[in-house]
Amino acid sequence: MITVSNLCFQYRQPIFEAFHWHAERGERWAVLGPSGCGKSTLLMLLAGLKLPQRGEIFIHGERVVRPRPQTGLILQDYGLLPWATVRENVELGLKVRSFYGADGIHAPKEPARLQNTDFWLERLGLTAVADQYPAQLSGGQRQRTAIARTLLLQPDLLLMDEPFSSLDAPTREGLQTLTLELAEEQALTLVLVTHALEEAALMGNNILLLSQPPNRQAQVIENPNAGRPGYRESTEYAALCRQLRALLQR
């Protein structure tokens, strides 16, 4: 699904140097590392919003040279339009796509199909607030609106950059569980960036650990039982958190 090959990327300072990484279709990855290590940069590269100076990124065998329509991207600050209702915000991505087309150049001949809006509003628990504006919503509802908007576009790959870090703990836990359910239901490949080791341990069946740049080698930790019922309370989860804490303190 995702192949990162010999990736070199730098701003003024190098962030990735001859970096390799591979993720299979349907896998759920957490990308964990301290602030400034290059997590967001990696996500922007995967999204096709930044391009490597050397090396390649392939998704489904196709080289990423621009944003691809089947990649969904969700950021911390939601990116909602303040003057549009929840329903209008959810429909926004599809309307943009119907105007510019899946390739961003050619408008499709068929008009946008918006019949899935109600399904996604319902699935994300937004039906009751569909006609409200973002300022009237809680942080959790705003993030669920952003998720609904992205899933309406039927992505096969979902990239999330610290999506829950500004939410209170109960809301965050609810959205973590919901995201795992949605990834399963929609057969998504998930790449979730976080600086919180507990979140990485909870959400990632594989954890990609980045360190102070430049990142040369991917350090991967397997976590096959993440997402199983009761995992949050398990001794395995607690042990993994201890392991990750020690690795991050090195």
**Binding-site member from 3, 5, 10, 40 for Mg ion (CB under 5 A):** 40
171 binds Mg ion (CB under 5 A): no
In three state form, how does the secondary structure of the chain look? CEEEEEEEEECCCEEEEEEEEEECCCCEEEEECCCCCCHHHHHHHHHCCCCCCEEEEEECCEECCCCCCCEEEECCCCCCCCCCCHHHHHHHHHHHHHHHCCCCCCCCCCCCCCCCHHHHHHHCCCHHHCCCCHHHCCHHHHHHHHHHHHHCCCCCEEEEECCCCCCCHHHHHHHHHHHHHHHHHCCCEEEEEECCHHHHHHHCCEEEECCCCCECCCEEEECCCCCCCCHHHCHHHHHHHHHHHHHHHC
194 binds ligand ADP (CB under 6 A): no
76 binds Mg ion (CB under 5 A): no
209 binds ligand ADP (CB under 6 A): no
89 binds ligand ADP (CB under 6 A): no
177 binds Mg ion (CB under 5 A): no
5 binds Mg ion (CB under 5 A): no
72 binds ligand ADP (CB under 6 A): no
The one segment of 18-26, 38-46, 114-122, 207-215 that binds Mg ion by CB under 5 A: 38-46
The one segment of 24-32, 39-47, 122-130, 222-230 that binds Mg ion by CB under 5 A: 39-47
15 binds ligand ADP (CB under 6 A): yes
Interface pattern 32-51 for ligand ADP (x via CB under 6 A): -x-xxxxxxx----------
Binding stretches for ligand ADP (CB under 6 A): 11, 15, 33, 35-41
